[in-house]
Amino acid sequence: MLTAKNPGITVLIIDDNQDLAEMYQLKLSIEGFHVEIANDGEQGLLRAVEVKPAIILIDLLMPNMNGFEVLKALKNNPKIETKIIVLSNLGQYENIRVAKSLGATEYMVKSNSNPTKVVNKIKEILGVSSLSKMDESEEAAEVEKDSDREEVIIEKLKKYESLLNESVITQNEFSAIKKKLVGTHSGKT
């Protein structure tokens, strides 16, 4: 049975919005996935070839190489077999049709999705039925490794608070992220 704790389950996020990519990276990491980020389509295609992720979360509107071009390149590369979720602000039928014809497994509109919904869709597509989170001793070891952890947490909370204010994430998701970040730092679970 697959679990997200398995280091073989890698998610590649291809999105030029750094804050959004980091938010999904945190959410997926909390769920036990290994996450890689690429900030444009060209870099994303290179990372996909290198890391061979189990699933790719990709935006369509990006510099250097847009998401449609990446989908086409992935479809034409027999060495890459991966599931792909398009997560885009483009919600028109034609964009959805083209993305799916180019190999997208799923298409989600950003304004209709939140991190929990996206993570649940990733689990569903991958058939991940059980997720193991870090145990307390692993969390404590992580905290002690990083002497600047408090500053990092404050910066991350500011980013997530701005995403909350922009209605990208819900209050419940922000509270869960905050609890996890602050709880990890203070040694609580």
Where does residue 74 rank: exposed (0-12), middle (13-18), buried (19+ CB within 10 A)?
A: buried
Residues of the chain within CATH 3.40.50.2300 domain(s) are: 10-126
Q: What's residue 5's pLDDT?
A: 52
Where does residue 110 rank: exposed (0-12), middle (13-18), buried (19+ CB within 10 A)?
A: middle
What distance in Å separates the CA atoms of residue 31 and residue 17, rounded to the nearest whole number? 21
CATH code matching the domain that covers 10-126, chosen among 3.40.50.2300, 1.10.3720.10, 3.60.20.40, 3.20.20.80: 3.40.50.2300
Q: What's residue 152's pLDDT?
A: 73
Low-confidence ranges of the chain (pLDDT < 50): 1-4, 6, 130-143, 145-147, 185-189
pLDDT digits (tens, 9 = 90+) for 131-143: 444 444 444 444 4
SS3 category, 58: strand
Q: What's residue 89's pLDDT?
A: 92
What distance in Å separates the CA atoms of residue 105 and residue 112, rounded to the nearest whole number? 17
On whether the pTM is more than 0.75, the answer is: no
Location of structure tokens 């947490």 = 153
Q: What's residue 180's pLDDT?
A: 77
Alpha helices (runs of H) in 32-145, residue ranges in sequence order: 41-51, 67-75, 93-101, 115-126, 136-145
Q: What's residue 146's pLDDT?
A: 46
What distance in Å separates the CA atoms of residue 172 and residue 50, rounded to the nearest whole number? 35
